[in-house]
Amino acid sequence: MAVLGGRAHLNGITFATNKFVVRGKLKNGDVRIHIRKLPENRLLEVMDRIPFIRGISKLAKLNGKLFLVIILLLAIPWEWFFSSNSADAAVSLWSVIAIYGTVLIVLVFLFKELWQYHGAEHKAFNVYSSGGLLEAEQVQAADRVSSRCGTNLVVIMLPIVFLLSNVLIQIPLLLYLVSMSLSYEIFDWSYRRKRLSIIFKIAAILQKYIVTKEPNEDQLRLAIKTLSKAIELDRVK
């Protein structure tokens, strides 16, 4: 497919192709589209073809800023500022998980609009990936759950992080990169071969009841126009 995937924001939706990042926002009921052409990067193109490396390059393309922020945070030698031993490291890992869990719960209740945009993004992408027409009625009737959502990757990645943390907890950047690489390969394999259905069932529950909500008409219209623009740009590249 021309469109790699999408993501939701507090005030809009982004869809990405191999060449463009298309972000749509709503302002006073009007749809505003911002197009950014991705720079030519031979390194990422090569990485896309290498197993256990391609997951990193695809994440970098879809959400470059977030990827760089994560890399920066993980690359900082925090032990220089906070002394720790192996026991502290194990406790620290659970503390980080607890913090992220708490943040997610807060986000669920405080940022309903974000999850509505997420729902609109999924609905539009599901129609597109199934070969349907991006029309209001079809998109409205589409499922909010997407088998290509990053939630599936997170469900796979969490147990891998737990397993690898015993040997890589002192090198968080390497822990993240290795976990991401392995998770993407497992996800890609299970998606294509229709295996490990339990992963997709767990992710589907999380999507349906936590990280997506039913979007309104304006949000659906935004998703349709943003995705349509991404498809159009890929055709005329």
Q: Model confidence at 87, in pLDDT bands (50, 70, 90)?
A: very low
pLDDT digits (tens, 9 = 90+) for 34-75: 998 877 777 767 777 888 888 777 777 666 666 665 666 555
| Section 19-29 average pLDDT | 90
Q: In sequence order, what DSSP letters do the residues of 155-208 get, joined into one string?
A: HHHHHHHHHHHHHHTT-HHHHHHHHHHHHHHHHHHHHHHT--HHHHHHHHHHII
For 48, the 3-state DSSP assignment is coil
Alpha-carbon gap, residue 191 to 156, rounded angstroms? 12
Closest-CA residue to 66 (of 110, 14, 24, 17): 14
Give the model's pLDDT for residue 180. Answer: 83
Q: Is the pLDDT of residue 81 over 60?
A: no
Most confident region among 7-11, 110-114, 222-226 by mean pLDDT: 222-226
What percentage of residues in the chain have a pLDDT greater than 70?
A: 76
| Section 150-158 average pLDDT | 88
Q: Is the pLDDT of residue 12 over 80?
A: yes
Give the model's pLDDT for residue 65. Answer: 62
Q: Model confidence at 157, in pLDDT bands (50, 70, 90)?
A: confident
Phi, psi dihedral angles at 149 (to 5 degrees): -70, 150
Question: Which pTM value belongs to this model?
Answer: 0.78
C-beta separation of 142 from 133 below 8 A: no
Q: Model confidence at 11, in pLDDT bands (50, 70, 90)?
A: confident
The full length of the chain comes to 237
Give the model's pLDDT for residue 82. Answer: 47
Give the model's pLDDT for residue 103. Answer: 61
- Residue 15, H or E segment: strand 12-17
Alpha-carbon gap, residue 155 to 203, rounded angstroms? 6
Alpha-carbon gap, residue 164 to 178, rounded angstroms? 9
pLDDT digits (tens, 9 = 90+) for 198-232: 999 999 999 999 889 999 999 999 999 999 999 99
Q: Model confidence at 165, in pLDDT bands (50, 70, 90)?
A: confident
Q: Pick the residue with more confidence: 177 or 136?
A: 136
